[in-house]
Amino acid sequence: SDVLALPIFKQEESSLPPDNENKILPFQYVLCAATSPAVKLHDETLTYLNQGQSYEIRMLDNRKLGELPEINGKLVKSIFRVVFHDRRLQYTEHQQLEGWRWNRPGDRILDIDIPMSVGIIDPRANPNQLNTVEFLWDPAKRTSVFIQVHCISTEFTMRKHGGEKGVPFRVQIDTFKENENGEYTEHLHSASCQIKVFKPKGADRKQKTDREKMEKRTPHEKEKYQPSYETTILTECSPWPEITYVNNSPSPGFNSSHSSFSLGEGMVRPRLTIYVCQESLQLREQQQQQQNQQKHEDGDSNGTFFVYHAIYLEELTAVELTEKIAQLFSISPCQISQIYKQGPTGIHVLISDEMIQNFQEEACFILDTMKAETSDSYHIILK
C-alpha cells in the first residue's frame, strides 16, 4: 500500500541551517492563547484550549518592501486544519476521524466563529472535512479569525479509564495565492503549533496546575524551562500534502478515497459490501424473546428491528476489515487482536484474506466482542 506523505514539522528536523532561525517569513499567524510554562527550553511550545471556546488567530502580513508584489491588492486563501501531532495517529487519521463522526453525528471538529472574525471573505467548511475550514483575506487589511475546536484530546486516547493524558493536536495554516486561472493553488506559506484541547474551563485549570508546579521548582530547575508567553506564534512547517496531489489522486488524511462513498472521479468503487450489527445483551434478549414468541404464535413476531451498518471493502483483506471494524467501535485497529467467523457447529474460524474474498455480496453478520484475557485488546466474532 502507498505510504502517506505526511507533513514534516520543523520542530522534528535536527539539521536546520542556523540562519533559518532568523529568516523573515511572508506571513505570521498568532494564536491569542498562552503557552504552557511546563515545556522544556528547546521543545516546541504547547498551548491549552477549551473545547468550543472562540480563540483569535491574527493573520499578519510580514513581507519586506517589494516582496511578493504579485499579491499586492489581491486576496490570498488560507486553509486551517486541526490534525494529529503524533505520527502513530496521523497514519490512522481517517479511522480516528470517522470514529469521532460516528460518536458525534452532526458535529464538526473545527469551526470559524464568523460574527467574531474580522476581514475574512467567503469562509467555507466542507461537510465532508470536519477538521478543515478555509477563507480568503487581504494581507493589506487587518484580519483576525476566531476558531473553535470541538473535539477534546482525551477522545482519541486508547485507554479510557479516566485520568489519562490527552493526545496533542496541531493547528496548521496553509496560505495560497491565485494561479493564472484564478485558482488558489500556488503555495505561499505554512505554519503550525501544538495544542491540547480540554473540556470547558479545563485548559485554565491545566495552565494553573502547570504554573503552580513550576513555582515549586528550584531556580536551577526553572532555567531548563521556557517561560509562558501570552500568545502562541505558529512556526513554519511543510505544506499539508493535499496540495501537492494532482489528477484526483487521493490525499492523505480525511480526504482519502476510503472516506468518500460518493464514488466520484478518482474514487475507488467498493468491491464488497457487508452489513454488521453489534451484539449486545439487549439484542440477545430480544432474539430469545422472538424465538419464544414464534414457538407460541403463528404469524409475525413483535416487529423489533436491529440497526445494521454497512462496511465497504476495497482490498478484501483481513487488515482492511480490522480497520473498518475498529472504526465502527471507535477504537484503534491494534486493539483488535483477532477476528473469527462462527462456523456451523459454533467453532471459531480465524478470518483470512481468502475467506473475505469468498464472502457473499451484502452478507449480514452479528458482531460479538470478547475481551482478551491477557491484554486490553478484543476478539471479534462474526456470527
Could you read off the pLDDT of 92-135 as tens digits, one per residue?
777 788 888 888 888 999 999 999 999 999 999 988 889 999 99
CA distances from 215 to 38, 157, 208, 240, 305 (A): 10, 29, 11, 38, 60
User: What are the residue ranges spanned by the domains of the chain?
Assistant: 10-251, 272-382
Phi, psi of 291 (to 5 degrees): -60, -45
* CATH code at 10-251: 2.60.40
Phi, psi of 285 (to 5 degrees): -65, -40
How many Å is the maximal CA-CA distance in the chain?
Answer: 88
| The three cell numbers locating residue 359 | 464472502
3-state class (DSSP) for residue 119: coil
pLDDT average, residue stretch 258-283: 52
Strands 348-350 and 143-149, bridge-based pairing:
unpaired
* Domain 272-382 classification at class level: alpha beta
Q: What is the pLDDT at residue 31?
A: 97
pLDDT average, residue stretch 305-328: 82
Residue-averaged pLDDT of the chain:
79
Is pTM beyond 0.75? Reply is: no
Phi, psi of 356 (to 5 degrees): -65, -40
- Rounded CA gap, 23 and 3, in Å? 32
pLDDT average, residue stretch 299-325: 74
